[in-house]
Structure 1
Amino acid sequence: MATVRRWTGREAGLLRQALRMSVRVYAAHLGVGVRTVSKWEQFGASTCPWPDTQAILDEALARSDATAQARFEELLTEGSPRRRPTGTPSLAIADHETWTEDLERIAICLDRQDFAFAATLLKRWLSHAEPHALDDRGLYLYGRSLVLSGDLRRLQGTFQDLLTAKRLYSQAHDVFTELGIPRRAAQVELSLTVVAEMAGRLNLAATRYQQLTADERLGPADRARALLWIGTALAKDGRNEFALHVMGQAARRFEELGEPEDWATAQQKLALAHRGIGDLTRALACIDTARRNGRFETPLQRVQIETAHGHILLTDPDTRSAGQVVLDRASGTAIRYGLKHQLRSIEKFRNDLEYT
């Protein structure tokens, strides 16, 4: 039987795979919290369970049947930590801490759509890091940097930005797959699907979202978001009746999960689908619900809700002038913060309206 001298999140995660248990079942099996198991899965070899938990893992391995023990030993062998070339330096712990702090700053910058500063911080790390020379913790931070760089490009949203985002996300997916962090890999797959949708590949996006709604690598909230985005892709493709059904399911899931912001976003999406079938009364009701319940703290969120509201108002001749004011405000915010994809969406709607 394979033995573990010192458990890290990596070995703990491999034992779960060998036992063929879900995260929730595995947590109950060990008598630890679900968040604890999720942390092991996320950080792998860079995190270590507490001493008493080390003993629990020892006992869980010893009590597992021979088949599970054999699977565990095989997984240990296949997933042995990467070896750096002799003499190749790795980032020091202090560098890891600084890198982690910068990633937190970058995430805040992206929320505020401060793209210039986010790009400066990302360049600091991505231009100097050599993936083959990083230890597992450094490689994890490199993968997170790639994701955030992809987010930066996706938020800006030109065609070239989307191509670059796809490349960055693909590289990040390779990193998280190599590190054996399935949840991060699945989240990147979700981001890749969003890029496909933004690029107009709506059938592909809807199919991939559908697959991700049942992907156990993702948490319940991410699976619900995938379901909502199926509806978004369907609505963009003109299949609004079907989109309403799917979005309604997503909204109920968000309510059950206690995710008010996502629930408000679902109301915003439902409003546009109701507009798509010509039901402006229900469209206005949904958009008013979204505006009352959503926080809309970031420029992107404000542009999205105002764009949706403006679209609905412009559809009715009686409210067209009010809709123009709302859409102008959304357009101004998009220009100010460099939200090119949203600006393109606004201009496309205005052009389509002129020819109807």
Structure 2
Amino acid sequence: MATVHHWTGLETRALRLALRLSVRAFAEHLGVAVATVSKWESKRAGTAPRPDTQAMLDTALGRADVSVHVRFETLLSEMASPARHLAQPAPGPRLWEYESWAEDLERVGVALSRQKFAFADSLLNRWLVRFQARELDDKGLYLFARSTALLGDLKRDQGCLLGPLSAQHSYAGARAVFVQLGIPRRIAQLDLSLAVVTEMSGKLEIAARHYETLAVDDRLSRRDRARARLWVGTALSKNGRHDYATRVMRAAIRDFEDLTEPDDWSVAHQKVALARRGAGDLDQALHFIDVARGSGNTDSPMERVRLDTAHGHILLSDTATRDDGLRVLDQATHTAARYGLVHQLRSIEGVRAMSEGLAGPLRR
């Protein structure tokens, strides 16, 4: 087992990386300030923690398992070489780190599907904080870009669409790396994600044009092209072109049937239901939302909220079912608030405001 006779910033950095912790998480682990850890790492062997902190570091290393000790010794030997002493950037990932990084990205995907945002964020920042893009080889850059794209998904689901720490910013950053790597499919997928942000930001005509272009883009898989077609219909429906939107979205439904994609098929029925509500055809709207509710992914809080919001919206359109609609929206509000789904909360409030402002509600 590894032992350290005297800790410097060099050894503390090696221990942090061996434990696979961010600077913030490592500081919390030791009970010291983040700025203290940053100072150790910036000065490397030129600084030493206080005696009481040396004891805490001894304890942290002593309690670590064998795999951490192996990584710690490997990292320390690499950092201690003359070349490493002079180099300012942190060393790039080793082979075992690539494997761990890829595994973490799989865990992020599962966490996002269940709206466990804090956990997903901690997994992503474990790697995005650890490495700079300039110190990575192509494999590391690919993982870095995938991490940045997933961070965009997280920000989008949280309703943070525009600005320096937003979904748009993360997607644009990931896209730039995939352009550097020359991976057309990933570039097109990021174009699709950016179009979603454009739609969610209310720029419906621009989003619809982007979707139309991507719906016939051969860089995308058939499933992604079908999604783009579905989102063309969504943007059109939000802009009041409900009948045209219905035709476009029904074509997407046929694609999802051929591809055997039940989740996408359900989402498409939900969106067609809203288009029929907008057109005043409440019988068809209720039919399509019942299909969506019967086949949707109720394990996902996000999908439950979307289904309940659409269902409530339709019920509010008829005075006979208005009270039922309000109850369904209350349920959607509770779930959205519990999981921090800010964009969905805004949508629900928009539905309520629209319902209250209607002079003459539609009737079946």
What's the TM-score bracket when you normalise by the shorter of the two chains?
0.7 to 0.9
Letter in 1 for 2:159: G
What is the rounded CA distance, in whole Å, between the counterparts of 1:354 and 1:182 in structure 2?
47
SS of structure 2 residue aligned to 1:113: coil
Change (3 A) 1:303 1:162: farther
Structure with the bigger RCO (C-alpha within 8 Å, sep 6+) is 1
Contact 1:154 1:162 in 2 (8 A): no
Deviation at 1:354, TM superposition (A): 1.2
Return the match for 1:196 from 195, 198, 204: 198
What is the rounded CA distance, in whole Å, between the counterparts of 1:223 and 1:142 in structure 2?
25
Return the match for 2:345 from 325, 329, 343: 343
- Kindly report which structure 2 residues correspond to 1:1-356, keeping only aligned pairs within 5 A, or say none: 89-160=91-162, 164-356=166-358
SS of structure 2 residue aligned to 1:278: coil
Letter in 1 for 2:155: R
Contact 2:233 2:248 in 1 (8 A): yes
Deviation at 1:90, TM superposition (A): 2.5
Contact 1:154 1:195 in 2 (8 A): yes
What is the rounded CA distance, in whole Å, between the counterparts of 1:254 and 1:121 in structure 2?
32
Number of residue-to-residue matches in the alignment:
272
SS of structure 2 residue aligned to 1:230: helix
Deviation at 1:136, TM superposition (A): 0.7
Contact 1:202 1:234 in 2 (8 A): yes
- Poorly superposed stretches of 4+, deviation over 3 Å: 85-89, 158-163
What is the rounded CA distance, in whole Å, between the counterparts of 1:320 and 1:186 in structure 2?
42
Contact 1:109 1:118 in 2 (8 A): yes
Contact 1:162 1:195 in 2 (8 A): no
Q: Superposition RMSD on alpha carbons, in Å?
A: 1.7
Q: Unmatched 5+ residue regions in structure 1?
A: 1-84
The higher radius of gyration belongs to 2
What is the rounded CA distance, in whole Å, between the counterparts of 1:167 and 1:87 in structure 2?
24
Deviation at 1:336, TM superposition (A): 0.3
What is the rounded CA distance, in whole Å, between the counterparts of 1:280 and 1:321 in structure 2?
16
Deviation at 1:295, TM superposition (A): 2.6
Q: Structure 1-normalised TM-score?
A: 0.74
Contact 2:236 2:242 in 1 (8 A): yes
Contact 1:162 1:199 in 2 (8 A): no
Q: Structure 2-normalised TM-score?
A: 0.72
Q: Unmatched 5+ residue regions in structure 2?
A: 1-86, 359-364
Structure 2 equivalent of residue 17 of structure 1: none
What is the rounded CA distance, in whole Å, between the counterparts of 1:88 and 1:331 in structure 2?
45
What is the rounded CA distance, in whole Å, between the counterparts of 1:320 and 1:353 in structure 2?
9
Deviations, residues 22-47 of structure 1 (Å, cap 9, x unaligned) = xxxxxxxxxxxxxxxxxxxxxxxxxx
Change (3 A) 1:94 1:202: same
Letter in 1 for 2:253: A
Deviation at 1:87, TM superposition (A): 9.5
Deviations, residues 277-308 of structure 1 (Å, cap 9, x unaligned) = 11000000001111112233200000001100
- Of 198-207 and 289-298, more deviation after overlay is shown by 289-298
Deviation at 1:158, TM superposition (A): 3.8
Letter in 2 for 1:167: H
